[in-house]
Amino acid sequence: MQNQTVPSDSPLLELRDLRTGFALREGYVKAVDGASFSVARGETIGVVGESGCGKSITARTILRIAGTNDSELGGEALFRRRTRDGRPGEVVDLLKLAPNGREIRSIRGAEIAMIFQEPMTAFSPVHTIGNQIIEAIQLHHPVSKDEARATAIDMLRRVEMSNAERRIDAYPHQLSGGMRQRAMIAMALVCRPQLLLADEPTTALDVTTQAQILALIRQLKAELGMSVMMITHDLGVVAETAQNVAVMYLGKVVEYADVRALFHDPKHPYTQALLASIPKLGREAGARLHPVKGMVPSPFNRPRGCPFNTRCPKAMPGVCDVDMPGPTTIKPGHTVSCFLYGAGDTRTEAAQ
Amino acid sequence: MSVAEQNAARSSDTARARHRLLDVRKLTKHYPITEGLLRREVARVRAVDDVTFHVDTGETLGLVGESGCGKTSTGRCLLRAIDPTSGEMVFDYGDGRVVDIAKLEGRALKDLRKDMQMVFQDPFSSLNPRWTLLDLVGEPLVAFRVAKGRELEDRVAELLRRVGLRPEYLRRYPHAFSGGERQRISIARALALNPRLVVADEPVSALDVSVRAQTLNLLEDLQQELGLTYIFISHDLSVVQHICDRVVVMYVGQVVEVADTSSLFFTPKHPYTEALLSAVPKPDPDLASSRIVLKGEVADPSNVPKGCAFHPRCPYAVDHCRQVEPKLETLGDGRQVRCHRAHELSLSGVE
Amino acid sequence: MLRRILGRGQPVAAGVPAATAEPTQPLETETEKHDYAVASEWELMWYKFKRHRLALICGVVVLLLYVVAAFVEFIAPYNPEAQNPAAAYQAPTRVHFVDAEGNFHLQPFVYGTTSQRNPDTFELEFVEDTSVIHPLQLFVRGDSYRMWGLFDANLHLFGVEDPNVRLYLLGADRQGRDMFSRIVHGTRISMSIGLVGVVMSFVIGIVVGGISGYFGGTVDLVVQRIIEFIRSMPTIPLWLGLAAALPADWSILQIYFAITVILSLIGWTGLAQVVRGRALALREEDFIMAARLSGTSRTRIIVRHMVPSFMSHIIAALTLAVPEMIIAETALSFLGLGLRYPAISWGVLLQEAQNLRSIALAPWLLAPGAMVVIAVLALNFFGDGLRDAADPYKR
Ligand SMILES: Nc1ncnc2c1ncn2[C@@H]1O[C@H](COP(=O)(O)OP(=O)(O)OP(=O)(O)O)[C@@H](O)[C@H]1O
Ligand SMILES: Nc1ncnc2c1ncn2[C@@H]1O[C@H](COP(=O)(O)OP(=O)(O)OP(=O)(O)O)[C@@H](O)[C@H]1O
Ligand code: SF4
Ligand SMILES: [Mg+2]
Ligand SMILES: [Mg+2]
């Protein structure tokens, strides 16, 4: 066990070349294909990418709930646990833990929590939200039911659920979409996790409700001092919430940068294309959009070489469609996997 | 009328000045909520409530609002996919024929289908998976006995090419296509009869970011080339600002504001429009998010608040708003707003 | 050409084909995935169904059973009614490859049997006469029959040339009739009663379920209550009651149809619910509305859109309904309330075997029971496979 000499800037979670694959009848799907980035304490990291690029699977792999039996994992996911008195504790590799063992279960929900796009998947329809939150508390803390209930009500108030004392006894279907999302956030945060994995928490919501929920997450993050991994396909949400951003394409993190660099000085052609293709609210609206050509390739049929080469306007024939570029550090905290900026920091990694 | 004559008649359309294509007056659609075996009505969902707007030829009219505010119901009433509870929808063919869509029956209603078509939100459920592209895109042509056999194939192939799909795909089934391509197939089908008005109900909401831009560009190009008129239903304000000429904002079944796009986005007149605009996450980390976060939730259309429907959430509400329902008023510059305080408030739009 | 189809609006620059959007990239590699792209619903179902090994095997079994049912007279070596008092309760004839001298024969053969009464027990005992070898042969001439009521024949799939030597593959019953031939003949009624019954329930089910699902609302509500009422009634007493009411002097054919009607009167509810569920789901599908907005007529929507979308589901549901009918018929006949002698069905055969003596002395008389189990299991697994494959478009 490591002791108190942990430097304060050491990351809470560090993913090193994370890989998750599924062997299906149709072929082998590399859902996550070498994702490396780290999440610092108190930071919000945005993970963006289009449908099927492996955002959700990355989060699920960290929690070890990605199709447990049929998935093949690789790389490392180093997570710094917290000691009983709340200080930084030992580092564990989440991928080495037994998928349903005691250790991962004591982390899941207590130290790393997750919220989903569709709250109905997190709640059982046959129990009241109160009972489900109370159960979540008692799973990790030896407290009486009344204490747990008091904590649950307090948490529901924090997520600005009006009438928390009454709503705690409601069934999930009796709440509106926004309220359900609040209840799910309450359940996720009730054990004060160090890391919140938010998988498209506002995609199914209206803009005004989305604004409420994003404000709520931001405020709770400050209050509880947790880190947030904000998974979304909406670049606007990322720009508003994240400090650092990982852009994913076909299971790979193609660019990682702080949010300003990413939006003002994107390096990877995919990031550039993505930013050019979204209509922006404001003065330049109405200007012609510049779409990325073609479509995302099927996961069973990924292109050889750089995953983006078939759609990339700057692809270099003979280079990009042959080898896979590795992550190249452009400046501290900004890495790109693209041959325009080099073949990768370490050739060995790129050769894989 | 032969195809040639029809086209001759139509090409004179463009020479003519823009005219009012569709005039919607006091359109209302209520869904009854029933109970028991006898289907006693216990309440009604006021999905569309006294909606008035118009569409001119060649323009794109946006219909925006949050989930459940009645956008889809409005769009479907316009096409008579569902029957409105009351109201008028006056459609001007431009050749002297003027009809009230709400009153059309039988043959006349079928004829309307040639001039009004729809593109659906869900690219998966809107195409019958058991049909080939030839059958799907050719469906309207067959239904109206416009073409068959070899000619049908040629026409469908042209339509496919027109929306950027390969004509060789004729014999394929929709399961072999991605969401964006399916949406193109839907568009091709909607264009088959050479309509004047296309109602597009969230046509890009289900698409990926990179494909969304392709589809928006396609819609714009088709409008340019064919002189189409669009009613573009969406909840995504940045898309609406991009593609629409004028915008109708709806809140629980009512029109709260109508204005041309730039006025609406830069100087909104209704507090709801302002809140909506400020709630949109902007893809620019430097835009400090000094946003108006509305309290509460969208009102329930089966239980609309008294007075102004928006008053429980409105940061500017005064007592008068809680008592009296505001009317849709026309301001000096032709804009319409449903708010008591529209004259005195100065609201902020997007930068 | 383009202009002719779509030529309204601003003139397109003359001669320049209006390439609106860059053609999307070819899906996959053009040739490799081409089959999939042009595969119809049934082909996709077949791809999916093939992956179910068990269902595939069971499908073959079901097919075989129906082939047998179609050609019973030819497949059965004897007339099922041919009696032979000397062979009462004769055990199954043993098929040999190795003769008494220990020589191996490639062609299977049997020995003739002689029966003699045991002086102590007075039971008939059968002794093989190992002096003459009677090879089993394909396509032998034997009992004559009338095939499908069309032509006379006496050819049988297999048998023994010598008419004095009887082949009892599954033993003989009390009157010395060949059980194997009787079971084969029973296949026809037992397997077909399921089919005919299902076709009838299908007609009732599709009409009622279709009405319920298409109109919805109050009609649906009433129909659903009726279905629930029928489903809540215990079926066996109901069958018994209805079957017991059949006049005793009816012919086999009349009873056969009466029984199928009784079975289908109760069996349609499940099918109606499948149809209704699909109709309700389909009403919500946008493509139905799109068809309407394209000007497609109501009849064409039903015939070209709705019915094909039902078809695969209904076929699966039908396949799963057949075994229920088979069991019901067997049960009724076994209880003596269904078909009766001289009709031959597996249930009738079991009913004839209904005494302790036969179970003790001639357990082979229970073979029809094994056939019921095989048929029902095969149909069930086959139906399960079909049901899983029925919606190849599921995302
Ligand atoms: N349990 C599973 N078994 C096999 N493949 C899976 C499984 N879950 C996901 N995949 C595949 O892994 C890839 C990545 O999926 P993932 O859900 O992470 O995408 P995503 O980026 O979250 O997309 P979305 O925006 O649609 O949620 C996809 O191609 C998907 O088909
Ligand atoms: N067939 C129906 N029966 C009863 N109520 C309905 C029906 N269809 C829609 N509604 C209700 O009418 C209201 C308006 O629905 P509509 O689908 O028009 O909204 P929308 O603006 O298109 O929303 P979304 O953005 O979610 O598509 C909603 O409250 C909805 O629940
Ligand atoms: S009428 Fe009153 S409550 Fe309604 S929007 Fe205007 S200010 Fe707000
Ligand atoms: Mg996901
Ligand atoms: Mg809608």
Cα angle: B204, vertex B205, B209; to 5 degrees: 75
pLDDT at position C395: 53
> How many beta-carbon contacts under 8 Å exist across A and C?
11
pLDDT at position B121: 87
Whether A319 maps to a domain, the answer reads no
C249 and C138 in a single domain? The answer is no
User: C360 to chain A nearest CA, in Å?
Assistant: 51
Q: Does B294 sit within 8 Å of A211, measured CB to CB?
A: yes
Among the partner residues C33, C284, C295, nearest to B140 by beta-carbon distance? C295
Whether A173 maps to a domain, the answer reads yes
C97 and C198 in a single domain? The answer is no
Whether A149 maps to a domain, the answer reads yes
Looking at the CA of A52, name the nearest ligand: 1
Whether C395 maps to a domain, the answer reads no
Whether C75 maps to a domain, the answer reads no
CA distance B188 to B207: 17
Query: pLDDT > 90: what percent of chain B?
Result: 38
Set of chain B residues whose Cβ sits within 8 Å of the Cβ of A278: 209, 212-213, 238, 283
Among the partner residues A50, A236, A282, nearest to B208 by beta-carbon distance? A50
Whether C72 maps to a domain, the answer reads no
Tokens of B56: 């001119």
Instruction: Give the residue from C123, C153, C176 where a domain finishes.
Output: C176
**Residue appearing with tokens 């066990």:** A1
Q: Bridge partners of A73?
A: A20
pLDDT at position B79: 92
Whether A40 maps to a domain, the answer reads no
Question: Could you give the 3-state DSSP secondary structure of residue A228?
Answer: strand
**For ligand 1, atom 19, which residue shows the shortest CA distance?**
A52
- Concatenated DSSP letters for C113-141? EEEEE-TTT--EEEEEEEEEEEEEEEEEE
E strand or H helix at B246? strand B246-251
- Average pLDDT for residues C13-31, to the nearest whole number? 39
Set of chain A residues whose Cβ sits within 8 Å of the Cβ of B294: 208, 211-212
Could you tell me whether strands A244-249 and A195-199 are parallel, antiparallel, or unpaired per DSSP bridges?
Answer: unpaired
Whether A26 maps to a domain, the answer reads no
Local confidence band at C9 (pLDDT 50, 70, 90 cut-offs): very low
B130 contact partners, CB below 8 Å, separation of at least 6: B173, C40, C41, C308, C309
Cα angle: B101, vertex B92, B190; to 5 degrees: 70
Instruction: Give the residue from C129, C152, C176 where a domain finishes.
Output: C176
Domain count within chain A: 1
pLDDT at position A69: 60
CA distance C231 to B241: 57
Local confidence band at C147 (pLDDT 50, 70, 90 cut-offs): confident
Q: Which of A19, A30, A57 to mutate to test the pocket of ligand 1 (most atoms within 8 A of CB)?
A: A57
Q: What is the pLDDT of residues B248-258, one digit of tens each?
A: 999 999 999 99
Q: Does A293 sit within 8 Å of C25, measured CB to CB?
A: yes
C205 and C311 in a single domain? The answer is yes
Handedness of CA C243, C249, C250, C256 (dihedral sign): positive
C130 and C152 in a single domain? The answer is yes
Question: Could you give the 3-state DSSP secondary structure of residue B134?
Answer: helix
C376 and C227 in a single domain? The answer is yes
pLDDT at position A52: 83
Question: Could you give the 3-state DSSP secondary structure of residue C224?
Answer: helix
C206 and C238 in a single domain? The answer is yes
Among the partner residues A50, A207, A288, nearest to B209 by beta-carbon distance? A50
pLDDT at position C70: 80
Ligand 1 atom at shortest distance from the alpha carbon of A55? 21
By C-alpha distance, which of C163, C165, C122 is closest to C142? C163
pLDDT at position B255: 94
Longest dimension (CA), chain B: 69
Nearest CA in chain C to B216: C21
Burial class (CB in 10 A: 0-12, 13-18, 19+), C19: exposed
Q: Does B166 sit within 8 Å of C5, measured CB to CB?
A: no
Set of chain C residues whose Cβ sits within 8 Å of the Cβ of B59: none
Whether A168 maps to a domain, the answer reads yes
Ligand 1 atom at shortest distance from the alpha carbon of A71? 3
Q: Is the pLDDT of residue C130 over 50?
A: yes
Quickly count helices (H) and strands (E) in chain C: 15, 4
Whether C344 maps to a domain, the answer reads yes
Whether C269 maps to a domain, the answer reads yes
Nearest CA in chain C to B137: C294
Residues within 6 Å of ligand 3 by CB? B 270-271, 308, 310-311, 314, 316-317, 321, 326, 339-341
Quickly count helices (H) and strands (E) in chain A: 11, 12
pLDDT at position B125: 87
Do B131 and C312 meet the contact criterion of CB atoms below 8 Å apart?
Answer: no
C240 and C288 in a single domain? The answer is yes
Q: Is the pLDDT of residue C244 over 80?
A: no
Q: Does B37 sit within 8 Å of C218, measured CB to CB?
A: yes
Domain that holds residue C1: 1-38
Residue B6 at interface with chain C, using a CB cutoff of 8 Å: no
Local confidence band at B288 (pLDDT 50, 70, 90 cut-offs): low
Do A8 and A185 meet the contact criterion of CB atoms below 8 Å apart?
Answer: no
Instruction: Give the residue from C145, C161, C176 where a domain finishes.
Output: C176
C196 and C287 in a single domain? The answer is yes
Question: Could you give the 3-state DSSP secondary structure of residue C163?
Answer: coil
**Residue appearing with tokens 């095997």:** C57
Q: Is the pLDDT of residue B294 over 70?
A: yes
ipTM of the complex as predicted: 0.84
Q: Is the pLDDT of residue C89 over 80?
A: no
Longest dimension (CA), chain A: 67
Nearest CA in chain C to B108: C295
Whether A213 maps to a domain, the answer reads no
Do A112 and A63 meet the contact criterion of CB atoms below 8 Å apart?
Answer: yes
- Concatenated DSSP letters for C236-275? HHHHHHHHHTS-TT--HHHHHHHHHHHHHHHHHHHHHHHH
- Concatenated DSSP letters for C59-95? HHHHHHHHHHHHTHHHHSSS-TT---GGGTTPPPPPP
The neighbour count for residue A125, using CB atoms within 10 Å, is 8
Q: Does A289 sit within 8 Å of B216, measured CB to CB?
A: yes
CA distance B205 to C68: 56
- Average pLDDT for residues C65-80, to the nearest whole number? 79
Tokens of C33: 């995935």
C279 and C330 in a single domain? The answer is yes
Set of chain A residues whose Cβ sits within 8 Å of the Cβ of B242: 279, 285-286, 289
E strand or H helix at B119? strand B116-119
Sheet-wide strand order for C96-98: C96-98, C104-117, C124-147, C151-160
Whether C133 maps to a domain, the answer reads yes
CA distance C268 to C250: 25
Q: Does C9 sit within 8 Å of B217, measured CB to CB?
A: no
Query: Global pTM?
Result: 0.81
Q: Which of A223-227, A286-290, C98-102, C224-228 has the lowest mean pLDDT?
A: C98-102
Q: Which of B106-110, B241-245, B316-320, C149-153 has the lowest mean pLDDT?
A: C149-153
Whether A182 maps to a domain, the answer reads yes
E strand or H helix at C311? helix C307-334
Q: Does A274 sit within 8 Å of B276, measured CB to CB?
A: no
Buried b (16+ CB within 10 A) or exposed e, C229-252: ebeeeeeeeebbebbeeeeeeeee
Quickly count helices (H) and strands (E) in chain B: 11, 12
C275 and C157 in a single domain? The answer is no
- Average pLDDT for residues C121-144, to the nearest whole number? 72
E strand or H helix at B249? strand B246-251
**For ligand 2, atom 5, which residue shows the shortest CA distance?**
B31
C213 and C158 in a single domain? The answer is no
C196 and C171 in a single domain? The answer is no
Domain that holds residue A139: 123-192
Residues within 6 Å of ligand 1 by CB? A 22, 24, 29, 31, 49, 51-57, 67, 233, 299
- Average pLDDT for residues C96-104, to the nearest whole number? 73
CA of B324 to the centre of ligand 3 (A): 10
CA distance C99 to A335: 84
Tokens of A84: 């009983």
Q: Which of residues 149-178 of B touch C (CB under 8 A)?
A: 154-155, 158-159, 161-166, 169, 171-173, 175-178
Whether C362 maps to a domain, the answer reads yes
E strand or H helix at B257? strand B254-260
Which of the pair, C275 or C27, is modelled with greater confidence?
A: C275
Question: Could you give the 3-state DSSP secondary structure of residue A256?
Answer: strand
User: A103 to chain C nearest CA, in Å?
Assistant: 35
The phi and psi torsions of B78 (rounded to 5 degrees) equal -55, -35
A177 contact partners, CB below 8 Å, separation of at least 6: A119, A204, A205, A209
Local confidence band at C14 (pLDDT 50, 70, 90 cut-offs): very low
**Residue appearing with tokens 């008419």:** C163
Which of the pair, A149 or C130, is modelled with greater confidence?
A: A149
Interface test with chain A among C20, C22, C24, C25, by most A beta carbons within 10 Å: C25
Q: Does C24 sit within 8 Å of A295, measured CB to CB?
A: yes
Q: Which of residues 30-59 of C touch A (CB under 8 A)?
A: 51
Buried b (16+ CB within 10 A) or exposed e, C180-210: bbbbbbbbbbbbbbbbbbbebbbebbbebbb
By C-alpha distance, which of A120, A149, A121 is closest to A134? A149
Tokens of B2: 């032969």
Q: Is the pLDDT of residue B227 over 70?
A: yes
Do C11 and B199 meet the contact criterion of CB atoms below 8 Å apart?
Answer: no
**For ligand 3, atom 1, which residue shows the shortest CA distance?**
B339
Looking at the CA of B67, name the nearest ligand: 2
Tokens of C81: 């009614």
CA distance A6 to B85: 69
Domain count within chain C: 3
Among the partner residues C12, C37, C218, nearest to B225 by beta-carbon distance? C12
Q: Is the pLDDT of residue C32 over 50?
A: no
Walk along chain A (352 residues) and give the pLDDT tens digit of each residue: 444 444 556 789 999 999 988 887 667 888 888 888 989 988 999 999 888 888 989 998 998 887 756 678 888 889 988 877 777 778 888 888 887 888 888 888 889 999 988 777 788 888 889 999 998 888 888 888 889 999 999 888 888 787 888 888 888 888 877 788 888 888 888 888 999 999 988 887 888 888 888 888 888 888 888 999 999 989 989 998 999 999 999 889 999 999 999 999 999 999 999 988 888 887 676 678 888 887 788 777 788 888 899 889 888 888 888 888 888 898 888 999 999 887 766 544 444 3
